[in-house]
Amino acid sequence: MQTRPARRASAVPLGQLIGASLDPLLAKRGFTESGLIMNWQAIVGDRLAKVCTPEKMLYPPRGPKTAPDAKSQPATLVLRVESAMALELQHLAPVIVARINGHFGWAAVAKLSLRQGPVATKMLKKPPRPQPDAAMQAKARAISAGIEDETLREHLATLGALVLREQG
């Protein structure tokens, strides 16, 4: 008699799997969890998320005589920021620190350190192209009028109108 392996009761959300696999990589940069990276846009807002991104967390060194149960000191968050926005981010630093600490629920970050340079932005959706106007559609239908198969004729007319729009 064969025994079957135990099955999972339910599917695991992809976000949980990504977070668990990113945590060891982010730990090398001083991040204790992936929450700051994954929720950066929600923490600072769309406008700031486009021009800055967290690079690493720098924690102050603990001395050899520090008690093991002593509270850890807040970190310095190093941000990569577009050069044109560095001055504005410097002025907004207290607001950003407050938002980050509010997200974590404790004083995780004491200050920001800004590094100027290009920020890798997410792929932005291209705006939809305008549809061909009625004249282009009529011209494309006239060109494809000799095709007997109705479905093929309509598809070619649609394609023809798009080609005419690009040429015109």
Supply the CATH number for residue 80's domain: 3.30.300
Is the distance from CB of 101 to CB of 137 less than 8 angstroms? no
pLDDT in tens, 25-44: 777 776 777 778 888 889 99
95 in the same domain as 161: no
CA gyration radius for the chain? 27
pTM beyond 0.85: the answer is: no
Task: From 128, 127, 95, 122, select the one nearest 111 (Cα to Cα).
Answer: 95
Cβ proximity of 78 and 115 under 8 Å: yes
Enclosing domain of residue 139:
134-167
Look at residue 64 and tell me whether its pLDDT is greater than 90: no
Q: Mean pLDDT of all residues in the chain?
A: 83
Token readout for 116 is 């100027």
Are 106 and 25 within one domain? yes
pLDDT, average across residues 123-129: 60
Band of residue 109 on the pLDDT scale cut at 50, 70, 90:
very high
